[in-house]
Amino acid sequence: MEDKITQFYLDREEPLRSALLGLRDIIMDLDPTIQTAWKYGSPFFMYEGKNLCYLWIDKHTHHPYIGLIDGGLIEHPLLERGDRKRMKILPINPEKDFPIEAIQEIFAEAMILCAERAKRR
């Protein structure tokens, strides 16, 4: 599994590779209990044993984004719903500075929602 996750990052060209690795590091630094998993062909991040988010690449812009599992319950101006019913995404421009403060705000709420979902099971 770890090899598939590593290969996901290594198969990308710059600046996409660095952007994805940077996003991975930001997410992993949010909480020491966040774990990675390979699901549905992409790297997922787990919190309290539940899916928190995943990284993917937009097929039109070729920019990375963070897909938030409970994003539909989070109101933040940088989140986009698109055609998704439950999730929202946080698109990232790999050639600009990451919105670190916004990511921290969004994930603070996302981790609360994820922990609540974990307690219900």
CATH number, domain of 106, equals 3.90.1150.200
Q: Which domain holds residue 75?
A: 2-119
Return per-residue pLDDT of the chain as tens, 121 residues. Answer: 579 999 999 999 999 999 999 999 999 999 999 999 999 999 999 999 999 999 999 999 999 999 999 999 999 999 999 888 889 999 999 989 999 999 999 999 999 999 998 888 6
Token pair listed for 21 = 């690795």
Q: Which stretches within the chain are classed as H helix?
A: 2-10, 16-30, 100-119
Number of domains in the chain: 1
What's this model's pTM, rounded to 2 decimal places?
0.93
50-57 and 35-39: which strand pairing? unpaired
